[in-house]
Each structure stands twice: as structure tokens, then as C-alpha cells.
Amino acid sequence: MDQLPISLSAYAGRRGVTPKAVSKAVAAGRLVASIGRDARGQPVVLDPELADREWEANTRQRADRPAPALPRGASEPASSARAAAPTPPQSEDPPAPAPRGRRVDLPEGVPVYHVSQAIRAHHAARQQAAAADQAELDLAARRGRLVDVTEITSEFNAHISNAKARLLALPTRVGQELPDLAERVVPVVDRLIRAALQELAADGRGH
């Protein structure tokens, strides 16, 4: 009794493979004598038993065929090398990025995520402390406890210049008060005052 043709999908179910695998076998010429065409020109399996024999013979032949030898000096294809290389084990915790420009040594046994959290908390605490210090300085300035260094320095220098001018004018006033002794006294007083001013200036530069 002649067998009726069956579709490639039906033959795939018979063999326990996918329809795509049967279609590839037909396209590759592994199934030839057992294949025909239906009224629409689609491939069908005319004889499933013959198709089984073709499948087994051609599949076994391809499996037993040795791999082509590589030319002398040629290396294994990169795709094969990648396939043969073992896959490194994946870490449970994703690595956290280290702060830019700074190396972070991770303590043993502490998850990377926790280290990252600790670093962020440390930076936040330092920023809060700096803000608190600045607020304290601002409050002290508003209460008059702090003074401007530039302003104090300017006032001090003005007092020094005024005192120096008065001392240098002192010999002239002595001469006016003691005209009879001016010729002898004024030069002496002027010399002593200038010497004292020079000593004070030297002491100031030394400190």
C-alpha cells in the first residue's frame, strides 16, 4: 500500500525535531529521494521511512566527517577560542565606582555596595561639619565677636605713622621752648629720637 505524502512539520513531529531542522535538512541536500512537491510547490515527505534512512545516513556521515585541518602556522578562529574559554564566575554584588581621582581599598568581607554607601556618608558628614563651622563664624561676626583683620591693620598703621610724625617733630618744639639751648639740645634730641625709631623698626621686622 502506497504511503501518502506528509508535511515537513508532520515529519518533524515523527522524528522529534523542529520543523526548521527538517527544512534545513532539505535545503542542505540531506533529504533528497524522499522529498517531493505538492500542488503549491511546497516540499513534502513522500516516503517517511526512506526519509528516516536518508536522515540517519547523511547525519551520521556529517558527524563522522573530520574537521578540516588548519594550515601550518594558522591559529584557531577567534569564535572557537571564545567558545572554548571558560566563563569567569559572576560576582553577586556589582562593583561600585570609586571616587574620581582617589583609590579605594576595599576591606575584606565587606560588600562593595556597603563600602560605597560608607564613603558617601563620610563625605556628607564632612560637608555638614564645614557648613556648621561657617554658620558659627557668621553668627560670631554678626554679634561683634569677630573683626576684620584688614581694617584693624589699617588703623594700627595709621596710629604708628601719627606717633612717628609727632616724635620727629619733638626736637623742633624743644628748640621753640628753649631758644637759648636750641643750638646744643635740638641736634641731640633729634639724633636720639631717630635712633629709638630705628631700633623699634628693627625689632618689629625681627618679630
Summarize pLDDT for 113-128 with one digit per residue, the tens. Answer: 565 677 788 778 889 8
Is the pLDDT at 190 greater than 70? The verdict is yes
Distance, C-alpha 201 to centroid of its chain: 56
Regarding predicted confidence, which is higher, 202 or 75? 202
Residues 52 and 30 placed together within one structural domain of the fold: yes
3 phi, psi to nearest 5 deg = -85, 145
Residue 36 CA to residue 44 CA, distance in Å, equals: 5
| 7: three-class secondary structure by DSSP | strand
Other Cβ atoms closer than 10 A to 199: 10
Dihedral sign for Cα 161, 167, 173, 179, please. Answer: negative
Regarding predicted confidence, which is higher, 84 or 39? 39
73 — alpha (psi -120 to 50), left (phi > 0) or beta?
Answer: left
DSSP state at residue 141: H
Of 54, 27, 42, 38, residue with least CA distance to 5: 38
Does residue 99 belong to any structural domain of this protein? no
pTM across the whole model: 0.32
Percent of the chain with pLDDT over 70: 69
- In this structure, of 49-53, 80-84, 120-124, 200-204, the range with the lowest mean pLDDT score is 80-84
Regarding predicted confidence, which is higher, 184 or 101? 184
Does residue 85 belong to any structural domain of this protein? no
Residues 127 and 160 placed together within one structural domain of the fold: no
Which residue range(s) make up the domain with 165? Answer: 149-206
Q: Model confidence at 75, in pLDDT bands (50, 70, 90)?
A: low
Instruction: Count structural domains, the chain.
Output: 3
The residue type at 4: L
Q: What is the mean pLDDT of residues 144-161?
A: 78
Structure-block grid coordinates of residue 110: 565587606
Mean pLDDT of the chain: 77
Residue 62 CA to residue 146 CA, distance in Å, equals: 94
Does residue 86 belong to any structural domain of this protein? no
Helix axes 8-15, 19-27, angle to 10 degrees: 110
Beta strand ranges found along the chain (DSSP E): 6-7, 35-37, 43-45
Residues 154 and 140 placed together within one structural domain of the fold: no
Residues 142 and 155 placed together within one structural domain of the fold: no
| Beta strand pairing call for 35-37 and 6-7 | unpaired
pLDDT of the residue at 149: 77
